[in-house]
Amino acid sequence: MNKVKKLLHFNIIICFFCHICLVNAKQIQEKDYSLIIVDQTKVELLKKSVPSLQLVRSDSRTSILKIENNHLEEVQETLHEESGKCGNYTYVPDGENGISGEQEAIHIMNQLAVETQIQNMNDSLKYINNYAIKRQSLINSWISKVQESNIKDVITDLSSFPTRYYQSNLSLAASKAIRERWRYIMRNRRNSSVEFFWHSWRQPSVIAMIKGKNDKYIIIGGHLDSINSSTVSDFAPGADDNASGIATLTEILRVIEDDKYEPVNNIVVIGYAAEEVGLRGSADIAKFFRQKNRDVIGVLQLDMTNFNKANPKNIYLTTDYTDAALTNYVDKLAREYLKIVPGKNTCGYGCSDHASWFKEGYPSVNPFEADWDLKQYNTKIHTVEDTLMTMNNNANHSLLFAKLGLAFVGELDVEN
């Protein structure tokens, strides 16, 4: 891994000395406004900070807002200060084949409606035979090999980038570093790939795939980007949000590779770009999978895995914008393999990349590091203080998520 570390630090140095760390997002926008979807309870709050925003439409849960691009940073800051949460809104691109942004926004709103949640839950029942616990020997072997030091090393390396803001050159360097790290892990495997998924902005997503015998997919992912909610030009180390999730995914991939495991289904590991600005990277990828009619057994989202001072031995499962059947199954996996009883969280909106898969009709689940409802989350995210030191300079809590992720992949990877 020394070669990978040297590449990572070399990329950082090059970006600093060329003075090209950040670009202004407004230079890349084709329009002077954006459409976003937020929890409808946040509209009045946003009107106070951005009086010029326009309400396009609302339903019982969400609202579509039209906002000038130069006010997007204020939206992010206002929502973060109010909730302390990640993501905070869904960015709406223009649709395809002449579909307007407003039509696309209404389509997304309908997909996120309660009726859609019920339909998605019913759709997931076709994989009910996969939702069993019967591979204890394999899973226990895997989880015994998880190492805290490996997770800590990746958190340290990734958070050493001053920022991974999606429009910065450093975000591209960070994606390259993760791509090369994952390629190194998978260097001895045939029928595998680690490639960029390019978007319309500077940072690409990174997708690693271990080819299976079937044409079905098991997906685990987390976002690569970081943000400072005060100003995007400031430092945003993003150690917890979300270097911890990427580090956890990296350790899951390492354990599976070291075991020379040959999967039945395709195992896909994704580092998403641009989550912090409206789940944009995952939206592109989930939409691509839907357009290709890919058969996805389940999606696990790891966004923030290493902070929990109030209850350091627990995990919390998000209950909205996720699949109920799959979430109940992951609860059972945690009880079986981690010997814990997970808590439950309600985001109130699509708070991370799992929501992108959910709106495309795929079963997704989001285990989280702390209790949102009791406000036990990491208050340093989106600031210069989101560092490993804030998490006691260790990756102990992420161990739980690495083990849970291995159980998720191993138990779902069976013939349906």
Tell me whether residue 382 is one of the annotated catalytic residues. yes
How far is residue 299's CA from residue 149's CA, in Å, rounded to a whole number? 26
Active-site pick, 240, 241, 320, 360: 241
Q: What is the pLDDT of residues 166-180, one digit of tens each?
A: 999 999 999 999 999
Location of structure tokens 């083990």: 403
Q: What is the pLDDT of residues 181-218, one digit of tens each?
A: 999 999 999 889 999 999 999 999 999 999 999 999 99
Active-site pick, 77, 382, 386, 397: 382
Q: In which band, very low, low, confident or very high, does the pLDDT at 95 lie, cut at 50, 70 and 90?
A: low
Choose among 315, 296, 317, 297: nearest CA to 307. Answer: 315
- The average pLDDT across 330-353 equals 91
What's the pTM? 0.80
The CATH architecture to which 33-111 belongs is: 2-Layer Sandwich (3.30)
Active-site pick, 153, 225, 257, 275: 275
State what percent of residues in the chain have pLDDT above 70.
Answer: 83
In this prediction, residue 83 carries a pLDDT of 63
Q: Which two tokens stand for residue 244?
A: 């911890």
Active-site pick, 80, 199, 223, 354: 223
On the question of pLDDT at 91 being above 70, the answer is yes
How crowded is residue 10: how many other Cβ atoms within 10 Å of its Cβ? 12
3-state secondary structure 138-178: HHHHHHCCCCHHHHHHHHHHHHCCCCCCCCCHHHHHHHHHH
Is the CB of residue 295 less than 8 Å from the CB of residue 216? yes
Q: What element of type H or E holds 364? A: strand 364-365
Tell me whether residue 354 is one of the annotated catalytic residues. no
Active-site pick, 39, 257, 276, 369: 276
How far is residue 14's CA from residue 270's CA, in Å, rounded to a whole number? 26
On the question of pLDDT at 73 being above 70, the answer is yes
How crowded is residue 279: how many other Cβ atoms within 10 Å of its Cβ? 29
How far is residue 233's CA from residue 21's CA, in Å, rounded to a whole number? 9
Q: Which two tokens stand for residue 348?
A: 């109130």
On the question of pLDDT at 291 being above 80, the answer is yes
How far is residue 331's CA from residue 344's CA, in Å, rounded to a whole number? 10
The CATH architecture to which 126-412 belongs is: 3-Layer(aba) Sandwich (3.40)
Question: DSSP per residue over 94-114, as a string?
Answer: --STT--HHHHHHHHHHHTSH
Question: DSSP per residue over 219-265, as a string?
Answer: EEEEE-----SS-TTS----IIIIIHHHHHHHHHHHHHHHTT---SS
CA distances from 362 to 11, 266, 295, 329 (A): 36, 16, 9, 15
How far is residue 79's CA from residue 312's CA, in Å, rounded to a whole number? 27
Phi/psi at 188 (5° precision): -100, 5
At residue 408, the 3 state secondary structure works out as helix
In this prediction, residue 99 carries a pLDDT of 56
Domain residue ranges of the chain, discontinuous segments joined by +:
33-111, 126-412
Is the CB of residue 272 less than 8 Å from the CB of residue 285? yes
Is 33-111's fold the same as 126-412's?
no
Q: Which two tokens stand for residue 84?
A: 């302390």
Mean pLDDT of the chain: 85
Is the CB of residue 209 less than 8 Å from the CB of residue 268? yes
Provide the angle, in degrees to the nearest 10, between the axes of the packed helices 169-185 and 148-159: 150
Tell me whether residue 303 is one of the annotated catalytic residues. yes
Tell me whether residue 295 is one of the annotated catalytic residues. no
In this prediction, residue 303 carries a pLDDT of 97
Active-site pick, 39, 73, 77, 303: 303
